[in-house]
Amino acid sequence: MEKNKRLFIETYGCQMNVYDSEIVLSILANDGYAPCDSLDDADLILVNTCSIRDNAEQRVWGRLDCFLQEKKSRDVKVGVLGCMAERLRQELLSHPAVDIVAGPDTYRELPAMLRRLEESGESQINTTLSLKETYADIDPIRTDRNRVSTFISIMRGCNNMCTYCIVPYVRGGERSRDPKSIVREAERMYAAGYREVNLLGQNVDSYLWKNPDNMTETVDFAQLLELVALVAPDLRVRFSTSHPKDMGNGVLYSMAMYPNICTHIHLPVQSGSDRMLGKMNRKYTIAGYMDRIDKIREIVPDAAVTTDIIAGFCSETEEDHLATLELMRRVRFDSAFMFQYSERPGTKAARHFPDDVPHEVKTRRLNEIIELQSSISLERNRECIGGTYEVLIEGTSKRDSNSLFGRTSSNKVCVFPALGHRPGEYVNIKVESCTSATLLGNIVE
Ligand code: SAH
Ligand code: SF4
Ligand code: F3S
């Protein structure tokens, strides 16, 4: 067994990658690698990568060049993990800095790969995808700073095949994790002092676990939410991502029934144009999406709704773009992640649809979308002024060491004077003012 080796891991991409890095830290800790906080101290540098857009990949290529400089001055090994490892395989291995390439379902093999690298000096690659791996039995080593809120992966992969998206290719088919292991992980987190868990999946609404010993015994996402909500009344439960084609009313009823299931739904719409949604293979229309929004507002009236939007997908016209702006005005999302379409090699869109919206048009449309959303976010936050909200304190404000920050159940960040309170506590905050991104207020009894 390797002894006293230090491991530095750098993570890009989504929350699932954050969780996966914590899984990797755990697997390698059992093999004698201790996590360290600085690249300079590391014997092994791992970079957990994202392929969702080209700029995510470009950043990693830049990092690999930095690691190469590092390798010139001392003995350090470099491994590339995650989605880009899965997508680019040999191409990554041929970068002179790279010793190991490991796809998202191969992390249990990392100790063996490192040993073979050590013994033979030869670089190692494994990008096999699995239809079973959920890392259910591995207890992640947490990397969050505040020890208040953390992630739990409930499923892996995706079966949806949105035409623009690389995820199904790099993460493989969808599989749901055993609910008992999810509940146990939530219980462990609660016992360790955490007060919020974020349940993660590419499409949580299609979570469906079947007992391998009795296929008639199943647990769906609405049931899983309840099981996790029952761990403790003061453990908040969040989840993402919901899919408009699959989000049933059951999830909304679970949310309405348990006060500790947070009133926030991330429901990516991608476009306001039915023609674009068809071309994206999203399998819902704007009418269907609006039906989901109406149900959310009926069953969980306080819920915040956030979304993802792509500007400039293949053949998008000005009319399609205006339909997106119109939809945003109709729904009035609390906030949104907004992107320019980035063609991903191998996806259906890359194979069949020309990436024909000029770059400057994409940029202009994206800017219009961002501008509209920030005015809507500001309006939404202003509606909170005068109201009192329960906030779970996460840490000290970056701007002011005498202030704390936390989130409302609806996932709005709130900053307020500390008055002796500490992370992990719940306080009631009366909102006095806001920006488009933050609520500002004071503690009330
Ligand atoms: N599973 C989630 C989202 C995963 S990726 C869902 O179905 O919504 C997060 C977001 O990245 C997507 O919602 C989409 O808005 C964006 N995205 C995915 N592929 C993209 C691409 N090729 N170009 C630009 N944005 C993309
Ligand atoms: Fe990508 Fe669509 Fe799957 Fe989301 S649901 S990960 S956008 S293929
Ligand atoms: Fe996540 Fe990026 Fe992979 S968004 S699933 S790390 S492609």
- For residue 445, the model assigns a pLDDT of 80
pLDDT digits (tens, 9 = 90+) for 288-318: 999 999 999 999 999 999 999 999 999 999 9
CB 307 within 8 A of CB 268: yes
The closest alpha carbon to 429, from 437, 151, 64, 438, belongs to 438
Half-sphere exposure of 244 (CA within 13 A, CB side): 26
Q: At what angle do helices 110-120 and 15-29 cross, to 10 degrees?
A: 60
Residue type, 163: T
pLDDT digits (tens, 9 = 90+) for 249-269: 999 999 999 999 999 999 999
Q: What is d(CA 31, CA 284) in angstroms, rounded to the nearest whole number?
A: 47
- For residue 4, the model assigns a pLDDT of 81
- b/e burial code for range 369-387 (CB count within 10 A of at least 16 → b): beebbbebbeebbeebeee
Nearest ligand 3 atom to the CA of 12 is 6
pLDDT digits (tens, 9 = 90+) for 63-112: 999 999 999 999 999 999 999 999 999 999 999 999 999 999 999 999 99
pLDDT digits (tens, 9 = 90+) for 194-249: 999 999 999 999 999 999 999 899 999 999 999 999 999 999 999 999 999 999 99
The model's confidence at residue 3, banded by pLDDT at 50, 70 and 90, is: low
- For residue 2, the model assigns a pLDDT of 45
H helix intervals, 202-271: 221-229, 249-257
- For residue 93, the model assigns a pLDDT of 96
CB 397 within 8 A of CB 403: yes
pLDDT digits (tens, 9 = 90+) for 155-185: 999 999 999 999 999 999 999 999 999 999 9
Q: What is d(CA 280, CA 164) in angstroms, rounded to the nearest whole number?
A: 6
CB under 8 Å to 111, separation ≥6 — which residues? 2, 27, 28, 30, 31
Query: Closest residue (by CA) to atom 2 of ligand 3?
Result: 50
User: Is the per-residue pLDDT at 1 higher than 90?
Assistant: no
Ligand 2 centroid, distance to 36 Cα (angstroms): 33
Q: Which of 52, 174, 337 to mutate to test the pocket of ligand 3 (most atoms within 8 A of CB)?
A: 52
User: Is the per-residue pLDDT at 144 higher than 90?
Assistant: yes
CB 44 within 8 A of CB 8: yes
The closest alpha carbon to 179, from 219, 138, 213, belongs to 219
Q: What is d(CA 22, CA 87) in angstroms, rounded to the nearest whole number?
A: 21
The closest alpha carbon to 274, from 265, 283, 263, 262, belongs to 283
Query: Closest residue (by CA) to atom 9 of ligand 1?
Result: 308
Secondary structure of residue 270 in the 3-state scheme: strand
pLDDT digits (tens, 9 = 90+) for 358-415: 999 999 999 999 999 999 999 999 999 999 999 999 999 999 999 999 999 999 999 9
The closest alpha carbon to 46, from 92, 93, 81, belongs to 81
Nearest ligand 2 atom to the CA of 168 is 8
Tokens describing residue 290:
């609006």
- For residue 115, the model assigns a pLDDT of 97
Nearest ligand 3 atom to the CA of 48 is 6
